[in-house]
Amino acid sequence: MSSPVRYEPHERPPPLLAFGLGFQQSALCIAGVVLTPVIVIRVAGQGEPYLTWAVFAALLVCGVTTVMQAVRFGRVGAGYPMLMGTSGAFIAVCVTALVTGGPALLATLVTISALFQFALSARLSWLRRIITPTVAGTVVMLIAVTVMPIVFDTLVDVPEGTAPAAAPVSAAATMLVIAVVTLRASGILRLWVPVLGLVAGCVVSAFFGLYDMQSVIDADWIGVPSGGWPGLDLGFGPAFWALLPAFVFVTLVGAIETVGDSMAIQKVAWRKPRATDFRVVQGAVAADGMGNLLSGLAGTVPNTTYSTSVAIAELTGVAARRVGVWIGVLFVAAAFLPKVAAMLLAIPGPVVAAYITVLLALLFVLGMRMVVHDGVDYRKALIVGLSFWIGTGFQHQAIFADRLGEWWGTLLGNGMTSGGLTAVLLTLFMELTSARRRRIETTLDTEALPKIDAFLRDFASRRGWSEGTVDRICSAGEEALLSLIGRRDTDGDGAGGRRLMLMAKMVDRHAELEFVAASGKENLEDVMVLLSKHHPDDPAEHELSLRLLRHYASSVRHQQYHGTDIVTVRVDLP
């Protein structure tokens, strides 16, 4: 069934609509972008010049990388509207770096740790069995667990002397308008749900005096910090090497969040469901790394993708890249126009919190859908359940909070970090203790068929399977190979001379065959879905192989990376 998507990534919504959605997303998230460096720098006891510079640089970097995510420069960027903002996961390690060695040491650590994200992006296919949809979906669910305590605090964040009813009435008005319009609206009205909710909340809060117009009036129209850039500490002393592992660890956890976000945005951005394109995931991680690299060079705190972008795309049905470009442009404008930033920051906390509550609720359900779509057996159920509750326990300081010490307690106190690490370690344990794969390497052409057939027959016969089961596995392997060859020929790029690695192993009551080859254009999962809906009387030869593969295999999964295709075929055993 088609999802209610009005504008897909490549489509162009009306300029006013694109600007309106970009404005409301930047309005919602600018406080988070600014707040993280403010917290880090004030807790570390740094001066006002550096604070002013760090906020300016954070807005600038987040704006540039948000545009980069949307537009996609080569292999950098997802090609989807994914908002980039400063990362709260880095607060603990950034404070430690500032206290230990000052802003220059922080800048160097952020710059060096960003290089690991580029390495992860380039070799993401190597980690495909560890950073799975189950792990990514769990991290997406934990984002809500991590952020909601802050959101609940913001619900009552009003000046002293404000009427007791101000916060609850403003928040209720925002949430009520969003809920009612979302549940009952259709057509173009649905596109303006976020704006309607914000306007309703701001109007109600204005009656209570919550909207601070004076801060907007006092702010300068144009302003650039006169100084504060810390430079880089290239001494690489003991403090650098002591803190680098912690920075790399948090950087990789943030990358897993970006993996989850980039997989999630693909689930809500298209009218017809598509298989996850891991080249998009690689691009998103690379843009995240570029954001951290620029943050380090600029001397501010690192950034990451903001998952609210996914929920807003699902809520409004607009996943057009143009929206992402507007968000980035407005962030850059806010960096140079203090009055614009003041206007966005003046939106009352209860109004922002009420709206983000709706987004996080949608995001949590989306994470659940990612896990379920990947298939849930008792092993994956244990990984998801245990990781989620461990993350929740650490987030609320309910697990050994008094025994971890201040540094580890602060680091693991982030539910996404502790829960995500649990999911990764459990998945890694599963991978290391699973049955050993048998493998063969050959050329990607029809001349490899006898060699592959002999390999699969030997693999199957060693397990004492029946002749019919052996034939079924061999037939599935043959059709998968022919589909890969036919696909490359169809793309106008013959398969000759390219290498193919085939791995086979037993998984419960399945035989799992994994084909690793040079990449092509179309995704076999998507093509097979189309073939299941159309039954031509005289199918093309490459379509015939796919139809036979659907018959022999219980499931086919196609992961596309830059330069690599990985097709996993499962065959049920009687």
Note the pLDDT tens digit of each residue in 334-361: 888 877 666 666 778 788 788 778 777 8
- Please give the pLDDT value at position 72: 85
Helix and strand numbers, DSSP H then E, in the chain: 20, 7
Neighbours of 10 (CB within 10 A): 11
Task: Name the nearest CA neighbour of 446 among 491, 518, 496.
Answer: 496
- For residue 227, report the phi and psi dihedrals to the nearest 5 degrees: -165, -175
Task: Name the nearest CA neighbour of 276 among 22, 500, 49, 558.
Answer: 558
Spatial separation of the C-alpha atoms in residues 209 and 166, rounded to whole Å: 9
Length of the chain: 574
* Exposure on the CB side of residue 277, measured as CA atoms within 13 A: 22
Neighbours of 236 (CB within 10 A): 12
Give alpha helix (H) positions in 166-301.
166-184, 193-207, 213-218, 238-268, 278-298
Domain boundaries, the chain: 15-228+238-372, 438-572
145 touches 415 (CB < 8 A): yes
- Please give the pLDDT value at position 527: 54
452 touches 544 (CB < 8 A): no
Spatial separation of the C-alpha atoms in residues 41 and 39, rounded to whole Å: 6
170 touches 210 (CB < 8 A): yes
> In the numeric block, which tokens belong to residue 368?
């659940």
* Exposure on the CB side of residue 525, measured as CA atoms within 13 A: 18
Q: How far is CA 487 from CA 392, 519, 530, 542, 566, in A?
A: 45, 10, 15, 7, 13
46 touches 98 (CB < 8 A): yes
Note the pLDDT tens digit of each residue in 24-81: 778 767 767 876 787 677 667 777 788 778 888 999 999 999 999 998 888 888 889 8
418 touches 89 (CB < 8 A): no
- Please give the pLDDT value at position 532: 53
> In the numeric block, which tokens belong to residue 164?
């007791």
CATH topology of domain 438-572: Heat Shock Protein 90 (3.30.565)
Task: Name the nearest CA neighbour of 175 among 196, 144, 206, 150.
Answer: 196
Beta bridge mates, 572: 510
Does the pTM surpass 0.75? The reply is: no
- Please give the pLDDT value at position 539: 45
Spatial separation of the C-alpha atoms in residues 81 and 306, rounded to whole Å: 10
Neighbours of 126 (CB within 10 A): 12
> In the numeric block, which tokens belong to residue 338?
């203090």
Read off the DSSP letter of residue 563: T
Spatial separation of the C-alpha atoms in residues 237 and 281, rounded to whole Å: 35
Report the alpha-carbon angle 197-198-202, nearest 5.
120
> In the numeric block, which tokens belong to residue 441?
């390497």
Give every residue of the chain whose pLDDT is below 50, as ranges: 1-3, 490, 492-495, 528, 531, 536-541
Neighbours of 557 (CB within 10 A): 19
Residue 43 identity: V
Residue 550 identity: R
Read off the DSSP letter of residue 507: E
Task: Name the nearest CA neighbour of 197 among 367, 363, 27.
Answer: 27
- Please give the pLDDT value at position 529: 53
Torsion sign (Cα): 170, 171, 177, 180: negative
93 touches 246 (CB < 8 A): yes
